[in-house]
Structure 1
Amino acid sequence: MHAAGWDHVTLVGSNAEDTIAFYRDVLGLRLVIRQPNLDRAEVEHLFFDAGDGRLVTFFVDESRESAERQDPGVGAVHHLAFRIEAADLPEIRDRLHEAGHGVSEYDRGAFHSLYTHDHNGLVIELAADKYEIPDDRRAEILARAHAARVDDGADYIDSEHLETALAELGLPVKPNALPDAATGRDF
């Protein structure tokens, strides 16, 4: 099988009000469909545009309360990662703070990320590319950067590996303006 791309992922959410308040009002994802679940009419199905025509959807029920934290087990979702424009990162960080959401910010080597939690305790990552990377070449560039990392004996992909990959593929090496951030994790 060769997948044409990611269509959607569906999560079990709490209630519609809290889910819409976070994903539409805080993250700015457009709510494109709101209808009963086709398999269980008492559950509502919310569809949000993840920004590239792909969807993230939620099965919600008004009797469910939002949760503070999750401890995902095997087969569960650890986090959702959305790609954001590097130039939008400061505004998004401020919007999360204003809405009362804690934010951690890290240089992840291959990209720059903000981390927060949604209203159900699910980890949300908002990743900005460190360099201009064409969507249709993303996997190819990351695979090439990975090969450069392995050749270098490094533990993680870093800027130099991305620059090598872009140059080897004959693509412009245009860094995005991003703030300095620590490497690591604290969310």
Structure 2
Amino acid sequence: MSFKDKVASVWCSVNIFVKIKDLLPRDTQILISFCFTLLSLLPACIKLTLHPSPRGFRFALVSFCALSFFLFSFQVHEKSILLVALPRAVWRALGRCHLGTAHLQLRSLNRAGLTLTQFLASVALMVLLTLMTAVLDPPRRLPDLFSVLVCFVSCLNFLFFLVYFNIMMWDSKDGRSQKKIN
């Protein structure tokens, strides 16, 4: 994948350091992409199978399915990140999506190895990169510097949220405390 695409996927981010398309045949790249996508979906599938719940389904739909496909698919369009954001925004707007209390979210942040300060630093970094892109001219020998940095940092953030939502889903008591209905 060339950097003219500049998508915040794992493969575009790895491409900064390692030119995978020069190292591996296309069929192997597709197989690796499939395996990573499947492995990133597996925890959500297991959780939903063992403890089905509406809340778990929302987590799986928004964060795992859409985010996993965005991050690990062989070919992905930058607008496909909307598949992650749009259902979440719609559920929130309708007042039907309650993803947990602030206490549970902060506890899950800590379990993911991230403090609120680190989270806010990540947001500040994205704001800074956005401002740099809008205000500064990149160096002549690195004309794509800012867009590559935005994609790389965004990819890291998306990977974090994939892990974060996994922790939130597995930390959920939805499926464990409900009685089975015959």
TM-score by length of 2: 0.26
Q: Decide which structure has greater helix share.
A: 2
**Greater relative contact order (CA < 8 Å, ≥ 6 in sequence):** 2
Q: Decide which structure has greater strand share.
A: 1
TM-score by length of 1: 0.26
